[in-house]
Amino acid sequence: MNLKKYYMIVVINVILSLTVFTSIFPAPIGVVDNWSHFRNGQEFLKKKNYSAAENNFRYYLRHPAVHKYMIGVAHFGLGLLYQDLKRDDLAVKEYNLAIKNDVHPDVSVKGKALMNLGSIHMKRKHYDDAIYVYAQAIKHNKRNGLAYYYLGLASLKVGNYEEAREASVKARKLGVPFDELSNRLKKIKKSEAKTRSSK
């Protein structure tokens, strides 16, 4: 047997051994997956190179046994992609899959996926759905001031002024600097006062 064939057999045996080893002994819990494909996908998304972005996000879905903690992250990336393409139905589907598969031991995408779902519902004027999603985002992270703020805006749209006021106060306490919600509430309060005084 010549030396070249010998080395090829050794290389093939090493590859087969590693494949068998990783399938029998999966990575321990707490091991962080490779983030390079997600970061690359984000960079391609910024450059509007959608096919390259999608290919990088889908990398984890093509190799689920190796990247089981990255499945939710992959769906979140696809949600970002479809939202940028204004394909909201697909974005909603991907964000829901991101929430369902949010199992990474160190990084959660659930809160961000919920916030993005809320913005889609607000854009579509599905205010009850937005209220539900923002409430879920608050349940996930009680210190999410933006979730309170947008919950207040959505509540205002459906005429629930008291919930909007409570959400506005909590958003302010958590450092949200936006004035739109509080300004709208002030106008409503003035209008209500005028109505009461004219009676």
Question: If pLDDT is split at 50, 70 and 90, which confidence band does 66 have?
Answer: confident
Task: Tell me which of 67, 83, 106 is where a domain ends.
Answer: 106
In a domain, 174, yes or no: yes
Do 54 and 87 share a domain, yes or no?
Answer: yes
Q: Would you state the pLDDT for residue 189?
A: 81
In a domain, 122, yes or no: yes
Show Cβ contacts of residue 112 under 8 Å, excluding neighbours closer than 6 positions: 76
In a domain, 130, yes or no: yes
Q: For 115-173, write each residue's pLDDT tens digit.
A: 999 999 999 999 999 999 999 999 999 999 999 999 999 999 999 999 999 999 999 99
Do 100 and 143 share a domain, yes or no?
Answer: no
Instruction: Specify the amino acid at residue 193.
Output: A
Do 113 and 101 share a domain, yes or no?
Answer: no
Q: Would you state the pLDDT for residue 20?
A: 39
Question: If pLDDT is split at 50, 70 and 90, which confidence band does 18 have?
Answer: very low
Please give the share of the chain, as a percent, with pLDDT higher than 90.
66
For the packed helices 110-123 and 145-157, what is the interaxial angle rounded to 10 degrees? 20
Do 101 and 116 share a domain, yes or no?
Answer: no
Structural domain boundaries enclosing 93: 33-106
Question: If pLDDT is split at 50, 70 and 90, which confidence band does 3 have?
Answer: low
Q: Please give the Cα distance from 169 to 119 (Å, whole number).
A: 21
Q: To which residue do tokens 């696809």 refer?
A: 78
Task: Tell me which of 106, 132, 149 is where a domain ends.
Answer: 106
Do 166 and 98 share a domain, yes or no?
Answer: no
Q: Please give the Cα distance from 190 to 23 (Å, whole number).
A: 67
DSSP alpha helix (H) spans, the chain = 3-24, 36-46, 50-62, 71-84, 88-100, 110-123, 127-140, 145-157, 161-173, 180-198
Give pTM, 2 decimals.
Answer: 0.79
Instruction: Specify the amino acid at residue 133.
Output: V
Do 81 and 156 share a domain, yes or no?
Answer: no
Quote the tokens at residue 43: 């960079």
In a domain, 11, yes or no: no
Least reliable range by pLDDT among 26-30, 55-59, 64-68: 26-30
The most distant pair of C-alpha atoms in the chain lies apart, rounded to whole Å, by 105
For the stretch 1-4, contacts whose Cβ atoms lie closer than 8 Å and that sit 24 or more positions apart, written own/partner, are none
